[in-house]
Amino acid sequence: MSDKFPELNLDNQLCFSLYAASRHVTRLYQPLLKKYDLTYPQYIVMLILWQQDGLLVKEIGNRAQLKSNTLTPLLKRLEQGNLLKRQRDTEDERQCYVFLTEKGKSLETQCACIPSQMLKQTDMPLEKIIELKQLLDQLILLQDPHGK
């Protein structure tokens, strides 16, 4: 191993810590979401729709930070599970709105326990989780001030 460039040591990389933490947290979600037949990206989309139903596909993609080629099949699977329905705009066929079905709306109540279950699994005090989230939000805002 070369110590010629210690700044290139993997353990010193912010990007790797963020990547590893993201993968770890996503893995923690998997068993919690499995009982609702949701993947982590599907859960993110459902969170968005529970917050504001009837969004354009493009708006959901922006909020979830998912590209169309990832989002479209994800929405299709959620639609096949009868959790949402897509509806084209009658005046502009290029625009497609996404609405929760009754089943999708009722799933919100069932999933309300997930955040507290996740908090327990992280084994970190709530104050530290809040502080970490605020720091990550600052980092995101500095890199992407317009949320694009």
Q: Give the tens place of pLDDT for each residue, 85-138.
A: 999 999 998 999 999 999 999 999 999 999 999 999 998 999 999 999 999 999
For 64-97, letters b (16+ CB in 10 Å) and e give bebeeeebeebbeebeebebbeeeeeeeeeeebb
Residue 38 in any domain: the answer is yes
Residue 122 to residue 26: CA distance in whole angstroms = 12
pLDDT of 131 reads 97
Q: How confident is the model at residue 145 (pLDDT cuts 50, 70, 90)?
A: confident
Residue 1 in any domain: the answer is no
Residue 127 in any domain: the answer is yes
Residue span of the structural domain in which 25 resides = 9-143
Number of domains present in the structure of the chain: 1
Report the pLDDT averaged over residues 4-28.
93
Residue 39 in any domain: the answer is yes
Residue 109 in any domain: the answer is yes
Sign of CA dihedral 4, 5, 10, 11: positive
* Domain harbouring 105, CATH code: 1.10.10.10
Its pTM stands at 0.89
Residue 31 to residue 74: CA distance in whole angstroms = 19
Q: Are 42 and 77 in contact (CB under 8 A)?
A: yes
Residue 4 in any domain: the answer is no
Residue 123 to residue 109: CA distance in whole angstroms = 24
Q: How confident is the model at residue 3 (pLDDT cuts 50, 70, 90)?
A: confident
Sign of CA dihedral 55, 61, 62, 65: positive
Residue 61 in any domain: the answer is yes
